[in-house]
Amino acid sequence: MAAKKKPSSSNVVADNRKARFNYEIVETLEAGLQLTGTEVKSLREGKANISESYASAEDGEMWLINSYVPEYLQGNRFNHDPRRRRKLLLKGREIAKLAAAVARDGMTLVPLKVYFNDRGMAKLELALGKGKKLHDKRETAKERDWNRQKARLLRDNG
């Protein structure tokens, strides 16, 4: 079985940078996106925002809610609604597992990034996360600052 490659930074269209600060990430998985033609063209231009979006399981299907993909300028009357709900393409077993974790443990489905894979397909990196409390966020910031300072000291003195 081949190991999955991480998306390269050149293929990433949208990144949710605050997600790792606000949530403790338990598990990540890759999901396909059901998109219209103008949405794909708009994504290829590198315009999208998933910072306020989340995923939700409804009637055995997974949906990406509140993501923003701007209208394609040359799309004329065939353009899409920028804030429409987009269906996530996952296996039924994965949907059931994620929905159970959200219902049982009070976790949240957070999109981390939208990217194009090696075959040119739009994919979403979806994470199962548990919300951090204020003191956890402070601890994360403190740890990040210390790592930055440590790297600076090693670079200058070492």
More confident residue, 38 or 29: 29
Alpha-carbon distance of 126 to 154, in angstroms, equals 35
CB 12 within 8 A of CB 115: yes
The residue-averaged pLDDT of 12-27 equals 85
Q: Which residues pair with 72 in a beta bridge?
A: none
Coil vs helix vs strand at 38: helix
* Structure-token pair, residue 97: 């597992």
What does CATH list as the number for 12-133?
2.40.280.10
The residue-averaged pLDDT of 27-49 equals 85
CB count in 10 Å sphere of residue 70: 16
Alpha-carbon distance of 121 to 44, in angstroms, equals 11
The residue-averaged pLDDT of 109-133 equals 88
The residue-averaged pLDDT of 55-62 equals 87
The residue-averaged pLDDT of 20-34 equals 87
Coil vs helix vs strand at 133: coil
The residue-averaged pLDDT of 20-41 equals 86
Whether residue 132 has pLDDT greater than 90: no
- Work out the pLDDT band at 151, boundaries 50, 70, 90: very high
Whether residue 125 has pLDDT greater than 80: yes
**Residue in this structure with the two tokens 């990196």, named with its chain if needed:** 125
pLDDT at 133: 81
- Work out the pLDDT band at 1, boundaries 50, 70, 90: very low
**Mean pLDDT for all residues in the chain:** 84
The residue-averaged pLDDT of 25-33 equals 89
CA–centroid distance for 107 within its chain: 15
Alpha-carbon distance of 57 to 62, in angstroms, equals 4
Alpha-carbon distance of 70 to 42, in angstroms, equals 7
Interacting residues of 150 by C-beta distance below 8 A, sequence separation 6+? none
pLDDT at 147: 92
Alpha-carbon distance of 79 to 72, in angstroms, equals 7
Phi-psi sector, 120: left (phi>0), alpha (psi -120 to 50), beta:
left
pTM, full prediction: 0.75
